[in-house]
Amino acid sequence: MHGSPRCSPLFRYTRGITKLERHLHPISLSFIIFLHICIPISLYLIYFYGLSVSQIIYYISAYLLGGFGITLLYHRVWTHGAAKLNKYVEFFFAITSIFMLQQNGKIWIAEHIKHHQHTDNKEDPYSTAHGFWWAHQNWVVYSYPYELPRLPKRLENNKILEFQSKYYWLLSILLNIAIPAILAISANAPWWSGVIISLARVMVCNHFIYGINSICHYFGTQPFSKANSSRNVWWWIFTLGEQYHNYHHTFPKDYRNGIYWYDFDPTKWLLKLLTLIGLAKDLHKTPQEKITRAVAEQR
Ligand SMILES: [Zn+2]
Ligand SMILES: [Zn+2]
């Protein structure tokens, strides 16, 4: 055994732990508690100081661009190879993904590969085997020492992924602390109010994403497969399209998660738009016969 068993998904700097033990990670726990405390305080700060137009634009952009950074780039393009992106677009979303503070791309991808390989089992980082709250958030505040798998071959020597992972925490401070602090000062509010509101925004957005691993594995329908606990939850709409999680687990390489025209899947629409204007290519689409067959087998 090498490395410290005290590392956690939030502060995982060490690797190679083989013994499966869980430990509450005090730094991660304190950080998460602090981020939650920021939520009510930020409501008071907004009531007291208000928000300037530039602050409103910043917070909405942080949610949308950070969200697409995770759903479009981390998830569909990097992890599952559902499409290829123009390098400038890839770099742009690699940077905006940091608004979500979901760990650097390399760690996120490795953990998500593990989630698909071992869904619902103990090797799944956000496994339902340990209950709803583990799948939702507790996995982040406990250390759960497991070997992370190698990244897919197509990501080896990806300079954008390397750069983003190397400077992740530095860029996090710039995007999630320095910029909102400057915007607060320019709106005649104290700098720290911008930081508190920003950290509250990070926590709320993270709950949207956590819900994919909890809500979308507990509630909803299983029209495509009952092989694991993944479910389509149409009403979990804050995830930019990831709520069609049963389809995604059945056909993970598909650039779509919501396959019907009425499905609310902005990530699919954005990938399609980027393709139309020449900034993305090779969208992977599951053949319709395969989908029809999967649906028929569930009846
Ligand atoms: Zn899942
Ligand atoms: Zn996935």
The alpha carbon of 115 and the centre of ligand 2 are apart by a number of angstroms equal to 8
The alpha carbon of 226 and the centre of ligand 2 are apart by a number of angstroms equal to 16
Q: What is the pLDDT along the chain (299 residues), one digit of tens a residue?
A: 333 333 444 444 333 333 445 678 888 899 999 999 999 999 999 999 999 999 999 999 999 999 999 999 999 999 999 999 999 999 999 999 999 999 999 999 999 999 999 999 888 888 898 889 999 999 988 876 667 788 999 999 999 999 999 999 999 999 999 999 999 999 999 999 999 999 999 999 999 999 999 999 999 999 999 999 999 999 999 999 999 999 999 999 999 999 999 999 999 999 999 999 999 999 999 999 999 999 999 88
pLDDT the model gives residue 146 = 67
Kindly write down the DSSP assignment for every residue of 186-220, as one continuous string. Answer: HTTS-HHHHHHHHHHHHHHHHHHHHHHHTHHHHSS
The single residue listed with the structure tokens 């068993």 is 5
The alpha carbon of 176 and the centre of ligand 2 are apart by a number of angstroms equal to 26
The alpha carbon of 212 and the centre of ligand 1 are apart by a number of angstroms equal to 7
| Cα dihedral value 110, 295, 217, 65, nearest 10 | 60
CB atoms within 10 A of CB 2: 8
pLDDT the model gives residue 122 = 80
Collect contacts of 118-122 with beta carbons under 8 A, ≥24 apart.
119/228, 119/229, 119/230, 119/249, 120/217, 120/228, 120/229, 122/20
Give the ligand at the shortest distance from the Cα of 215. 1
The alpha carbon of 77 and the centre of ligand 2 are apart by a number of angstroms equal to 10
C-alpha closest to that of 96 among 28, 174, 41, 43: 174
The alpha carbon of 112 and the centre of ligand 1 are apart by a number of angstroms equal to 8
Give the ligand at the shortest distance from the Cα of 70. 2
What residue ranges do the domains of the chain occupy? 23-297
Which is it for the CA torsion 169, 36, 44, 239, positive or negative?
Answer: positive
The alpha carbon of 116 and the centre of ligand 1 are apart by a number of angstroms equal to 7
The verdict on pTM exceeding 0.85 is yes
